[in-house]
C-alpha cells in the first residue's frame, strides 16, 4: 500500500519552566510541581489506557530495553545487561538481567518478575490490557534459562518485526510479582493455557462469546487465570501506593483525585540510562488543572513549576522577555499528516494522492495553526534515524500542478466513481486482482450484462503481461465462477475471447467452460470488424 506523504509535520514538544524571582518566591525545596491536564485513570500500566497515566508511569516503571533519544532506536538495555541474543529464525530472544536492581521495598528484581509481567499482560481475561496485549500476542512464553534467575528466554510463536520497539521496549513493563501476585495465581496457569485462547485465533481478536466460554471452563487453570485478572484489576491495584511500585526513579506517595499525584524518590533506583535516566528532585508533584488558561495562570503565580506538552497557541501567547518564565523546545519525532483511505476508489490512484499533496498549504498551517512550532518534513521517518533520506524533496504547495494532474485523470476519476454505483446496483461488477504476498495490483476482472431475471451474466478479465503464464488468471476465473454461482445465484456464466487469443481460451477451458461457437464480426476495433469465440459454463456442470 502506498501511503500519502501530504501534510507531514514535525511538531516539537513544548514546555515552560520557572526561574528567577517574582511576586511569590520560587520554591527552594528539592521538588518540582508539574501541571497535568487531567487525572490518570490508573497507575498500573497494564490496566491504564490514558496518555496522562502513561506519562506518570514512566517515572515508576521500567522495561528490559528502552529508546536512545539521539537515534530514536531501541538499543539501550535498562533492566538487561545487554540487548538480547536473537535466534536466526527470529523466534527466540535471550536476555541476561542486571543483578543490582531492587524494588522499592528492597526485594531483588529477577526473572520471576519477568515471567509474571508477561503472564499478567497476556491474560485475556484482563479486558483493560487489550490495547497493549496485542503487542505481546506474538510472544508464546518466557522462562528461566537453566533455572538461572537472571537469565530469561522469550519464545515467539510467529516472528514479529516490532518485537524490540513495541514489545520489549514499550508495553512490557516489569512489575513486582511478590506485590501483585501474592497468591501465586500466575503459577497455576501455563503458557499453553494462554495459547489455547490467544494463539488459536491467529491474527483475529478474541470475541466476548469465546472469552465467556473459556471463563466458564471448569479447569483449575482457567479459574486461576480469571481470578488473577479479577484481583489484578481491582481499583486498589491501580492507585494504592503499596501496589504502585516499580524499578524506576520514583514511587507513588499520595494520590488525591482531581487535585494532585505525589511521587517520592525510589531509594533503590539504579540509573542505567546515563543522562536520560537522572532523577534529581526528591519529590515530583503532578497537579491537575483541567484548563489551559488556568494552567498558564498557575505557572505565572508559581503554583506550578512546569507546563509540559503545551499547545502551540499557549506557547506563543506567553511573553518570556519580561518575566522569569523560560521556554524550552526540542524535537520529539512526532508528525502530523493527512491520510487518504484507499477504500475509496478515487484515492487508489497515486496521481490523485499527489494532486492532494500539492493542494495542502503546509507552510500556512505551520504559521497560522502551529504558531511556527513545527517544520516541514519529507518523510514519516524522523530525521534523526540513519534511514532518513534527506535528499527527498519537500513537496511544494502548487495548486496549478494539482489542477493539471486532476485534469489529466478526469476520465479515470469519472470511471472510478461509477464502479461502486454499478456494483451496488449489480449492473456491472469490477474486481481488482492483487498478489496475496504483497498486494501488488496485477489486473482486473468483472461481470457485465448481468440478468437477474434469467440468472446469467458475461465475464471479462485482463492481466498485466508481466504476470502471464503463472496460473493467476486461471485462479481468478475459477473464483469468479464460484462467486457467480454461489454468491449471486447465477445459472450461466459466459465470456468471449478473440479467435487468436489462445491463452484466454485455455484459461476458460481449464475452468470447465465449453466452446459454444464463433460470433463473426462481433465487434469493431480500430475501424475493423473482429470475430470472437464464446465460452460458457452452466451451474451444476
pLDDT range class, residue 12, cuts 50, 70, 90: very low
Query: Is 60 exceeded by the pLDDT of residue 330?
Result: yes
Question: What average pLDDT does the structure give for the chain?
Answer: 85
**Span 158-204, pLDDT tens digits:** 999 999 999 999 999 999 999 999 999 999 999 999 988 876 555 44
pLDDT of residue 163: 96
Q: Which of 349-353, 420-424, 534-538 has the highest mean pLDDT?
A: 534-538
pLDDT winner (highest mean) among 167-181, 361-375, 411-425: 167-181
Q: How high is the pLDDT of residue 217?
A: 65
Question: Which of 322, 249, 277 is CA-nearest to residue 22?
Answer: 322
Mean pLDDT of 387-401: 88
* 310, 318 contact by CB (below 8 A): no
Which residue has cell 538481567? 97
CA distance to 120, 133, 203, 240, 281, per residue, from 237 (Å): 13, 18, 30, 6, 26
Burial label for 215, CB within 10 Å (0-12, 13-18, 19+), is middle
pLDDT, greater one: 518 or 388:
518
Query: Strands (DSSP E) along 158-282, which ranges?
Result: 250-256, 260-265
1 to 350, 439, 444: CA distances (angstroms): 10, 7, 17
Domain spanning 51-239, CATH class: alpha beta
pLDDT of residue 313: 83
Rounded Cα distance, 51 and 233, in Å: 18
Nearest Cα neighbor of 494 from 474, 478, 510, 516 is 516
Write the pLDDT tens digit of every residue in 19-64: 433 344 444 468 999 999 999 999 999 999 998 999 999 999 999 9
Considering the entire predicted model, what is its pTM?
0.67
Closest CA to 352 of 411, 392, 396, 393: 411
Backbone angles phi, psi at 112, to 5 degrees: -65, -35
Residue 526, classified by CB atoms within 10 Å of its CB into exposed (0-12), middle (13-18) or buried (19+), is: exposed
Answer whether 93's CB lies under 8 Å from 154's CB: yes
> What residues form DSSP beta bridges with 458?
448, 494
Q: What is the DSSP string of 372-402?
A: T--EE-S-SS-TTSTT--TTSPPPP--HHHH
**Three-state secondary structure call for residue 37:** coil
Of the ranges 332-346, 435-449, 460-474, the best mean pLDDT one: 460-474
Could you tell me the CATH superfamily of domain 426-538? Gcn5-related N-acetyltransferase (GNAT) (3.40.630.30)
Compare 338 and 421 and report the one with higher pLDDT: 338
Q: How far apart are CA 517 and CA 513, in angstroms?
A: 12
Sheet strands side by side (includes 85-86):
85-86, 92-96, 148-156, 139-145
Report the alpha-carbon distance of residue 9 to residue 334 in Å, rounded: 8
C-alpha 174/C-alpha 188 separation (Å) is 20
Instruction: Look at residues 373, 426, 425, 364 and name the one whose alpha carbon lies nearest to residue 399.
Output: 364
- Of 109, 84, 114, the C-alpha closest to 96 is 84
What are the sequence ranges of the domains in the chain?
A: 1-37+289-410, 51-239, 426-538
Amino acid at each position: 500500500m502506498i501511503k500519502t506523504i501530504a501534510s507531514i509535520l514535525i511538531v516539537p514538544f513544548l514546555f515552560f519552566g520557572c526561574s528567577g524571582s517574582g511576586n511569590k518566591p520560587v520554591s527552594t525545596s528539592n521538588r518540582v510541581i508539574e501541571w497535568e491536564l487531567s487525572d490518570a485513570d490508573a497507575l498500573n500500566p497494564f490496566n491504564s489506557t490514558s496518555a496522562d497515566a502513561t506519562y506518570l508511569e514512566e517515572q515508576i516503571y521500567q522495561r528490559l530495553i528502552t529508546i536512545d533519544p539521539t537515534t530514536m532506536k531501541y538499543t539501550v538495555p535498562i533492566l538487561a545487561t545487554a540487548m538480547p541474543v536473537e535466534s536466526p529464525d527470529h523466534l527466540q530472544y535471550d536476555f541476561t538481567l542486571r543483578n543490582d536492581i531492587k524494588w522499592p521495598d528492597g526485594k531483588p528484581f529477577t526473572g520471576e518478575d519477568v515471567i509474571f509481567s508477561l503472564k499478567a499482560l497476556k491474560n485475556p481475561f484482563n479486558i483493560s490490557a487489550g490495547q497493549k496485549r496485542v503487542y505481546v500476542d506474538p510472544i508464546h512464553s518466557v522462562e528461566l534459562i537453566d533455572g538461572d534467575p537472571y537469565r530469561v528466554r522469550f519464545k515467539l510463536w510467529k516472528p514479529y518485526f516490532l518485537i524490540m520497539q513495541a514489545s520489549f521496549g514499550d508495553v512490557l513493563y516489569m512489575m513486582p510479582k511478590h506485590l501483585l501476585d501474592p497468591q501465586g495465581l500466575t503459577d497455576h496457569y501455563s503458557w499453553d493455557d494462554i495459547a489455547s485462547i490467544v494463539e488459536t485465533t491467529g491474527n483475529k481478536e478474541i470475541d466476548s462469546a469465546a472469552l465467556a466460554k473459556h471463563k466458564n471452563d471448569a479447569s483449575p487453570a482457567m479459574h486461576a487465570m480469571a481470578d488473577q485478572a479479577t484481583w489484578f484489576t481491582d481499583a486498589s491495584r491501580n492507585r494504592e501506593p503499596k501496589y504502585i511500585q516499580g524499578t524506576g526513579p520514583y514511587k507513588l506517595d499520595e494520590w488525591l483525585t482531581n487535585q494532585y499525584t505525589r511521587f517520592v524518590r525510589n531509594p533503590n533506583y539504579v540509573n542505567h540510562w546515563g543522562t536520560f535516566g537522572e532523577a534529581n528532585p526528591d519529590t515530583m508533584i503532578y497537579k491537575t488543572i483541567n484548563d489551559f488558561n488556568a494552567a498558564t495562570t498557575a505557572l505565572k503565580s508559581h503554583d506550578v513549576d512546569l507546563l509540559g506538552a503545551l499547545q502551540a497557541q499557549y506557547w506563543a501567547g506567553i511573553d518570556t522577555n519580561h518575566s522569569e518564565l523560560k521556554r524550552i523546545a526540542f524535537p520529539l519525532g512526532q508528525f502530523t499528516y493527512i491520510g487518504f483511505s484507499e477504500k475509496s476508489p478515487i484515492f487508489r490512484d497515486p496521481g490523485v494522492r499527489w494532486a492532494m499533496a500539492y493542494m495542502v498549504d503546509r507552510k500556512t498551517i505551520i504559521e497560522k495553526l502551529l504558531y511556527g512550532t513545527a517544520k516541514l518534513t519529507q518523510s514519516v521517518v524522523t530525521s534523526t534515524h540513519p534511514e532518513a533520506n534527506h535528499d527527498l524533496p519537500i513537496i511544494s504547495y502548487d495548486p496549478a500542478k494539482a489542477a493539471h494532474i486532476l485534469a489529466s485523470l478526469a476520465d479515470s476519476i469519472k470511471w472510478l466513481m461509477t464502479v461502486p454505483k454499478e456494483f451496488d446496483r449489480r449492473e456491472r461488477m469490477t474486481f481488482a486482482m492483487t498478489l496475496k504476498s504483497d498486494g501488488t495490483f496485477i489486473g482486473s476482472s468483472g461481470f457485465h450484462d448481468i440478468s437477474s431475471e434469467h440468472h446469467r451474466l458475461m465475464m471479462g478479465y485482463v492481466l498485466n503481461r508481466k504476470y502471464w503464464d503463472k496460473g493467476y488468471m486461471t485462479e481468478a476465473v475459477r473464483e469468479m465462477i464460484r462467486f457467480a454461482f454461489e454468491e449471486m445465484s447465477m445459472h450461466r456464466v459466459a465470456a468471449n475471447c478473440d479467435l487468436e487469443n489462445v491463452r484466454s481460451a485455455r484459461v476458460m477451458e481449464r475452468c470447465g467452460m465449453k466452446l459454444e461457437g464463433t460470433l463473426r464480426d462481433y465487434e469493431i476495433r480500430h475501424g475493423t470488424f473482429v470475430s470472437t469465440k464464446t465460452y460458457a459454463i452452466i451451474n451444476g456442470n
